[in-house]
Structure 1
Amino acid sequence: MEVRVNHAKVNPDAYQTMRKLEDFISKSGLDRTLYELIKIRASQLNGCAFCLNMHIKELRSMGEKPQRIDLISVWREAPVYTEKEKAALELTEAVTLISERGVPDDLYRRVREHFDESAYVTLIMAMNTINAWNHLAISTGMFPVADA
């Protein structure tokens, strides 16, 4: 496999714009573990092997239990996530697949039980950011390097 284009090298302004989104989220107060769960679930849905590999490694390095990482794709059936995390994961699916049914009112209400309006917008920005990274990585041909 070959990378099609090194996006950071050929268009550093675009890369820096993406970094600014990450900076916004990191300063927002969004729980870092929750953000990694969001990144992993969106990357699964988008089929982004590069991002999926990166964020699984990141969550492992943060000391997350392997079971919580392994079961993200079936979070509804796994009793290892909090109600707050489940609400965020469901919203991640809705935002990532927004053309299928949007964000239904009942989902919005469930998410708002755990997040105020400002945090809700931050969640949406976090989801938009990982979806943009996924699209960038897939479109430019990024792929995970095999571990030695």
Structure 2
Amino acid sequence: MNYKEIAKETIGNLYKAHHSIRKSGIDEKLIALVELRVSQINGCAYCCNYHAKELSDFGFEQDVINRLPGWKHTNVFNDQQKLVLEWAESIIYSKGDWKSTKAKLIDQFTEREIVELTASITLMNALNKLRITLVEED
């Protein structure tokens, strides 16, 4: 199903929101990192491929990208990257001590950055679900 064409305005607005997040001032590398992690969690093969290539284009080594599913058990990610990954997983899985994670975010990011990061995570979740459920093949 060509959902982008069928609901051109609605889906277009989702992509406009994505573009807005990318231009909001928060580090695009952090956004790409959480978008890949969300896509991995949801199992969106197309999005995983897209965001892995994007991280590579941003200068992430393939070895680092390969370790993303096990980010909690490696030292290749810095503290800020681990924090945004923790935030992404707490939102997607709707469990864990998200209040504690949010408090850590407040120490490192502006309110605007937290909103943009959270919007990115939830929007990527929605975009993954649209692609997974409405596209027959990748």
Q: TM-score w.r.t. structure 1 length?
A: 0.86
Residues 1:9 and 2:9 are matched in the alignment: no
Instruction: Report deviation, 1:125.
Output: 0.5
Q: Is the 8 A contact 1:50 1:143 kept in 2?
A: no
Displacement of 1:65 in angstroms is 1.1
Q: Flag structure 1 segments of 5+ consecutive residues without an equivalent.
A: none
Alignment of 1:65-144 (within 5 A): 65-98=61-94, 101=95, 104-141=98-135, 143-144=137-138
Instruction: Count how many residue pairs are aligned between Structure 1 and Structure 2.
Output: 138
SS at match of 2:69: helix
2:134 alignment partner AA: T
Q: Which amino acid aligns with 1:137?
A: R
| Distance in 2, Cα, partners of 1:69 & 1:53 | 11
Q: Do the aligned partners of 2:87 and 2:98 also contact (CA within 8 Å) in 1?
A: no
Superposition RMSD in Å: 1.5
Structure number having the greater helix percentage: 2
Report sequence identity in percent.
Answer: 29
The CA deviation at 1:141 is: 2.4
CA drift of 1:104 comes to 2.5
